[in-house]
Structure 1
């Protein structure tokens, strides 16, 4: 009913989404009033209203801030309280449920220095200190989105390690950045202005039950750069396309430019890593660069355990003996043996179970600091071990190679999956590894140009990558794409952190991602899972006294000299070579097997242990590999194949709902952004005061819903609830997915512990029919929230309030606090006849973070310092 009293221009604003508002031209604040204001917001010594002439009256009240809301200590508003948070050694402390609105700039604003703090200087970095729980996500919303305004988010471990997680989105995804805490602990959050100027909203979300993978590590000071082809070269063939280049950053130049960066003093290693990330993003924008990225460090996906000796239970688990009745992988002339490239720590070349099975390989470890063989790249892929301590090396590549194709049926040692396949040993992991060395190994295996200057006599048919990390690498993706184009099938381990975070290279398109199973054919306790898992294979389970590892070839150097041995290990590293070996068996009976045919067989469950309705799940993909089915299918394979569609993903257009004190209904829309159909969608809520009602147009659970609240018999305060949506993908029956978001309801007036920056209170003529309706603006006291308008003549008025942290002369913009009396969206007329009006208290919330709906930006006009007489009519 009250909406009928709103002026026409505000009614129009309320009916439009935030981005459709046309902001009125900013009216600069009067220099006369600014001179009278001085600085800060402490204009009210005593909250006492001065006497007004008999025909004029006062309107007063207090502002309060919704719980959890905080503010950046150094916004652009010169009148706001100032606390420098540019130094990681002196960060701004926030709570682990904070909602912070802030300002950052990579250049001066060029505005009025009497009003703005950063007219000719920059506010490039804001640092916040926070204690996070494992799984808590930090979300940065960049408010003023454009190509030129780009803020990035970094999560730094403040406990003394050099771990850094980052989010550097741009373009269509550049308005939101997210990082997550992998463990409980104290962190530094760094908001960095890469370019331009923007307000932002920093939100600390509740902990998720999903385990978070540690951040992707990379080599500080090194970039991998893909330059664009020369003008006139349009072909993507390996003959014309430039290969990715390893670029070492110019330390002297960067030190000269950034010597004043406080992060360099706080932690030189973190500084080096962050400048590597920033430099990669800068290079990405060069006209001659297709992409640039850090040189990511990858690790073998082995989980170290004590050595045990037992039978190879993992082969009968995939019906391998039955498969050997059809084929052992040996081929008849003139067909040549199937070659599996094992890109890993190299292979102990003298192992008797492997020596007869090897074809020439290469060592692509370029750095002598990690190689342990004393030199750079060369033609010797022999594994010297990855530890300086005798008996402590993993012999990871040797173990993987033995699973693929150890010499079999010879009365000694262990058997490999494919008796007839050959191994191409490629050394890319030493003490650690990086994406550049691995990409060069992939190119060698596919007979593509590489840094060795040589190519093998025959390309590999299959590449096994029992390694990886959480960092997306264009370097690896480029090499994998070229290898796939050359007809090579690529298999990779899913990782061992028991998380759903994408693990690369297994998560790249076209790579067969393999999770690990235990003897019960269910997911091993350590194995990663997620949408990128295509298939599963035995990886072993050696936890809490369970001694079911995968037995394969290793070396033993505990005496100081390498000798052949066998040992148990567990991990997705052990699972992947089972799949690579089975594909080698398939290639032996069907040499022309293509990636498309293989994908079709996997996605139809034709070669897995799923015997009922075929469907994909995030634990085991399309199921555990069945070697017998695989070889049988290869023998009678028909051409063709398809790739799985994008799984069903339900999204809501609201990330949270906030019900101000007199708001009782809000709507939200559920939609499917995936390719597969949504089934069995259900909505539940956690609170007795909350009701969810579908609209008439809801179909299969998708469409518009109304959330309504009932405040009957509830005491004043803020109430929190959750809306939970569960559903299934039509292609993965029985696998439940979940979407949930929070609901906050205000009952009565809540004086909260939110942190208030400088607030501007606007008195609007309620009878105004133009867009110039603000009669007077005053400062609210920043510590008490108290405000007063003096000399107000009889009439009808409305009250609005908010911050102006970017000093554009407007309140209630996205990323700023906003409120109205008694509640935004349900403004009431304040009628003055013959007396002062007091107690007009109301709550401010943060605009643009799901907290409030915008009422349209309001222009600061006729600014009055608090307590200064001024005529309102």
Structure 2
């Protein structure tokens, strides 16, 4: 029974290498002999890619394999293993200051294979005989934008991301995949312009939600940026992964994040897990949708993916913090009839910037001042004739000298009377005192 059948019946970098038991999907009939790329489902490696059947990817291949669509992988660099990528990588650059100019030299020590694993899931070519690992969109082109995490780069990380996005857009990316998280809800303001630049050029941006096993309990930027398609992770049964995923209200779709395989930079096959792998599976599905429906803009590509998702049993309110709108169904996203939308269902970054950055607040209008008419003052009195300042004037006599005389003379008389009375009292006392 395939993964999709089971689902319908029961209804830092964001990925890490792991040694885990992989569950192989049951073989399905080979596609028609005219299939453009050989595909042998009985090959041991192809059998490990349970998502090819579980997420409806092989079914979608009957319509398209992503030809004409370009996926930019902003990561640690896509290696040059010919068995995995062949001529898939059509361009690249390094924005870390540590890699090669073409973006193909893995950056860092710990995560040097991360970019190759991601790219192989999105658009790995497989071998000519139909064996070996194959990506979700094996005919899509790849752009390799190498960045460095932590001490692996001499350029600040926020600058790397902004520069990488702009380079990818300017070099023809239709889809950008970013399988990393910052573990913080907020993001640098320079990312506002970079992500808006991608949206304005009709680019689908797919990002990983992050992993609890790496210390991410809640999603962080860029998964919190409005307009991106954030991918959560599930295991082989379609159940939300405990270690290889996280949760948050901005998750739009869920895809396999456990039991993954990827081709390393040296061409060796590796086992790994994390939403770093779930994201490129969805990015590859977006490439299939864009190839099948070239008339659709980025908002409608995202809308087809989330509106055709497989519902999860018990989930009633959408989007769900674990599953988003449900589990990826690439075949339905390519083939179903979905109503057209005018806005990105994952949010409007321009509106967010307007509300929270106050970027385009209009200056306060200048107040209008109405002149006030003031009546003219009366004419001044004519000047009086000049006179000597030593000679008193009528006004000085009236308001100065006369009031002074009126107040002073009575006071003097009262004082003299009081003094005389006091003398008479003392004299009388002396005369009445008895002799010794």
Question: Who is 1:586 aligned against?
Answer: 289
- How far is 1:610 from its partner? 4.9
Match of 2:242 in 1: 525
Q: Identify which of 70, 73, 76 aligns with 1:339.
A: 70
Instruction: Note closer, same or farther for the CA distance 1:394–1:517 as it changes in structure 2 (3 Å cut).
Output: farther
Unaligned runs of 5+ in 1: 1-298, 331-336, 448-455, 541-548, 556-562, 647-873
Report SS of the residue matched to 1:444.
helix
C-alpha contact 1:514 1:576 (8 A) present in aligned 2: yes
Equivalent pair of 2:254/2:323 in contact (CA under 8 Å): yes
Q: Distance in 1 between matches of 2:106 and 2:21?
A: 22
Please say if 1:386 is aligned against 2:108: yes
For 1:479, the equivalent position in structure 2 comes to: 194
SS at match of 1:360: strand
- For residues 593 and 644 of structure 1, what CA distance do their matches in structure 2 show? 14
| Rg larger for | 2
Match of 1:420 in 2: 139
Residue in 1 that maps onto 2:341: 640
8 A Cα contact 2:217 2:247, kept in partner: yes
Structure with greater helix percent: 2
State how many pairs are aligned: 301
Task: Identify the residue that residue 262 of structure 2 maps to in structure 1.
Answer: 552
Alignment partners' CA distance in 2, 1:327 and 1:491: 20
- The one-character-per-residue Cα deviations of 1:467-524 (angstroms, maximum 9, x if unpaired) are 1212322222321111111111100000112755341111100010101110110111
5+ residue gaps, structure 2, are 1-11, 23-44, 348-436
Q: Equivalent residue for 1:442?
A: 165
- 2:308 counterpart of 1:606: yes
Shift, 1:568, TM fit: 1.2
TM-score, normalization by structure 1? 0.33
Structure richer in strand, relative to its length: 1
Does the Cα contact within 8 Å between 2:124 and 2:135 map onto a contact in 1?
yes
- Trace 1:188-227 onto structure 2 (pairs within 5 A): none
Q: Distance in 2 between matches of 1:305 and 1:610?
A: 27
SS of the equivalent of 2:335 reads helix
For residues 21 and 145 of structure 2, the distance between their equivalents in structure 1, rounded to whole angstroms, comes to 27
Q: Distance in 2 between matches of 1:610 and 1:320?
A: 19
CA gap 1:613/1:300 in 2 versus in 1, 3 angstroms: closer
**1:595 pairs with 286, 298, 315, which one?**
298
Look up the match of 2:333: 630
Name the SS for the 1:492 alignment partner: strand
Offset of residue 319 of structure 1 = 1.7
Match of 1:64 in 2: none
Q: CA deviation at 1:615?
A: 2.9
* Separation in 2, partners of 1:501, 1:379: 35
Match among 184, 194, 208 for residue 493 of structure 1 = 208
1:405 aligned to 2:123?
Answer: yes
CA distance in 2, matches of 1:610, 1:594: 27
Matches within 5 A, 1:215-614: 299-306=12-19, 311-330=48-67, 337-366=68-97, 371=98, 373=99, 379-384=101-106, 386-387=108-109, 394-408=112-126, 410-411=128-129, 412-429=131-148, 432=152, 434-447=157-170, 456=171, 459-471=172-184, 472-473=186-187, 474-497=189-212, 501-526=218-243, 527-540=245-258, 549-555=259-265, 563-603=266-306, 605-610=307-312
**In structure 2, what is the Cα distance between the partners aligned to 1:405 and 1:624?**
20
Instruction: Determine the C-alpha separation between the residues in 1 that align with 2:290 and 2:302.
Output: 14
Aligned-partner SS, 2:133: coil
Distance 1:432 1:507, change over 3 A: farther
The C-alpha deviation readout for 1:167-206, integer Å capped at 9, x for no partner, is xxxxxxxxxxxxxxxxxxxxxxxxxxxxxxxxxxxxxxxx
CA shift digits 1:357-416 (9 cap, x unpaired): 1111101113xxxx3x5xxxx6221233521xxxx6550000000001011462342011
Structure 1 contact 308–568 (Cα < 8 Å) conserved: no
Q: 1:569 to 1:407 in 2, by over 3 A?
A: same
- Mapped contact 1:400–1:552 kept (Cα < 8 A): yes
The answer on whether the counterparts of 1:304 and 1:394 sit within 8 Å (CA) in structure 2 is no
Cα distance in 2, alignment partners of residues 420 and 346 from structure 1: 20
In 2, the alpha carbon distance for the partners of 1:383 and 1:574 equals 20
CA contact (8 A) 2:72 2:168 kept: yes
CA distance in 2, matches of 1:610, 1:437: 37
Given that 2:168 and 2:176 are in contact with CA atoms closer than 8 Å, whether structure 1 keeps it comes out as yes
TM norm structure 2: 0.64
Give the Cα–Cα distance (whole angstroms) in 2 for the partners of residues 465 and 595 of structure 1.
16
Deviation at 1:598, TM superposition (A): 3.0
